[in-house]
Structure 1
Amino acid sequence: MGRGQLCLLFLVLCMILISLGLILTSIVTDYWYNVQNSNSNTTVANTYSYSFGMWRKCYTKDVPKDVPYERRVNKCAYTYQDLVPRTMPSTDEGARYLHLERAWVGCAIASAGIQIFAILTMICGLWPADCANAKRSTLYLVTSILCLIAAMCGITSGICFIALRDLDSSSRNIYPNGTTTLYDFSFMMEWASNSLCILEGFIFLCLLKMDYNDITETGKYNSFM
């Protein structure tokens, strides 16, 4: 393996760790979407001033009184129970909304899981164990496919989240006058992870091309050891 190929491999491995860290951080943090209300009515302003993620909704001041006590923790309220309601929504619109919420969460988790599998795939080729004789070309191809699939899952999650927020503002119209909304840093981190996954996939394809050039020159397949 040439020095340039080795440096490129080290770079893409670092990128995988960064993209995995970004998607995991976005999953566990509560800043996908920020809602603020400037209504003169204190109750309305408090009810519609919060940020939320996949699992919790954190209010600027206090949790509204209509939130069940068992869901509360400090100024936050757990929302993950809404993904598995006791009864399915009675309307088609409600069912679609629920499926979009599940797709948002499920695809983000799938993206993180696939990235972990990509890391394990490369460890299989780089770790000095029985699997160390794995062909580089095979590992590059498999890891490239995994990175691109992870990107597709992450993009699907992000699109579902955007669709949910559009429904909140349009057909559901849940926000009163004076409400401002914006996508927060957890949402941005997920898209940054998606971008890195796409780039990683293409870098592994470049490494695959380099490895096949080596195979053409040497006449044999190359392993990492």
Structure 2
Amino acid sequence: MASDRLEVPEKIDSRHPAAERKDPGLTPWAIKGELVLNCNCTVFCPCVVSLGKHAPTEGHCQTWGGVRIDSGHYGDEDLSGLNIGLLIEIPGMMSRGNWKAAVFIDDRASHAAYEALVKIFSGQARGTTGLFSVLVGEFLGAERQPVSYVNDGKNRHITVGKKIQGTVFPVEGKDKDQEVVITNTEYWMGPDITVATASKGRVRAFGRVWDFEGRSAEICQIDWHGPK
């Protein structure tokens, strides 16, 4: 029986063979700065040292975060000086996936920077954050918001419009002048994680109403890049 599908000729590429082919998934990018997370774990998050092989202390993970980009780019687009808010929900062990996630992009970002940051924080840009494209089963969305990230020397104050209000600070060790740091980990966000807690951690976004005051937090210097 003859098929009634029309054979469409392959689109002709008239560009010179040496011309650059731009693939959005291959655009070089990099971000350096600081990240904080505050989750519902009652003690320091087990995911850091177990690499997601140990369940969160409450059996599931609810997390908000903030990222301060000190320097960064996506291709030729400068990302330096922008801030990001995050919301992540994980039903069990981190490594088993089925995450839900949302990202809040600094409202100072240009259109190109906004699009670039959505690609980076959804995993589309591959590289360090590429695992999001594997582990996140539902991307709740991206929104422009006024995102403030202030470090007063100890406390990190993060505000994402009316969605997130948080303050995170390092826990004290024996030497009050030294932070308690878990070093040389294989944690994807960064190898050295400062143990912290939250004095404020309120979320009102995407139907979530959370308050993680006094719960686990992390502070991490980040050096992320892609696409490899």
- Length-normalised TM-score, structure 1: 0.21
* RCO comparison, higher one (Cα < 8 Å, 6+): 1
Q: Which has the larger radius of gyration?
A: 1
- Length-normalised TM-score, structure 2: 0.21
By percentage of residues, which structure has more helix? 1
